[in-house]
Amino acid sequence: MSVPIALVVAVARNGVIGRDGDLPWRISSDLKRFKQVTRGKPVVMGRKTWDSLPRKPLPGRVNIVISRTLAEAPGALVRRDLDAALEAAQAAALADSAAEICIIGGAQIYAAVLARASRIYLTEVALAPQGDSRFPALDPAHWREVSAERVEPAEGDDAGFTARVLERM
């Protein structure tokens, strides 16, 4: 039995998802949503995403880092390639009865796994910042929206956003 793969991503209007190894915005409302979506599920990320986490590992989740250079990541599993990482995530998801595996970045990982994903938790950030990392273009023929919620910026948030859930057709 195979556990479905979901991408969890926040994308600006211009496709930007990162700048200098970090998010180009601060939106605590979306971070709360991220926590809710990923809690109890294995999360797979690249080394740069791991490096960007202020608190490592993300609690309440099996953290799996893809890296050819990182020997270890305290509190996380390190795998040398995407297939090995997804194999570890499948095992963790089955052991924990998780509903899905969450891919949380960065751009190269999203691009490599997009064809295998069955769901996308997409936060569309109402900004167009400069950045050096972009989310791959989605083919609308392959995805259908199953929910959308507009969220106004809370105090301290850089912007509002629309939280969408897309499923593969």
- What count of other Cβ atoms lies within 10 Å of the Cβ of residue 29? 19
| Confidence tier at 1 by pLDDT (50, 70, 90) | confident
Average pLDDT, whole number, for the chain? Answer: 97
Is residue 110 over pLDDT 80?
yes
What are the E-state strand segments in 39-160? 43-46, 63-66, 76-79, 101-103, 119-125, 133-134, 143-151
What burial class does residue 126 get, using C-beta atoms within 10 Å of its C-beta: 0-12 exposed, 13-18 middle, 19+ buried? middle
- Structural domain including 128 reads 5-168
pTM: 0.97
Domain count, the chain: 1
Identify any residues that bridge with 79 across adjacent strands, giving them in sequence order: 66
What is the predicted pLDDT for the residue at 55?
84
State the CATH number of the domain containing residue 142. Answer: 3.40.430.10
Please give the helix or strand (H or E) that residue 17 lies within, else none.
strand 16-18
- 124 close to 164: Cβ distance less than 8 angstroms: yes
120: its two tokens: 């996308």
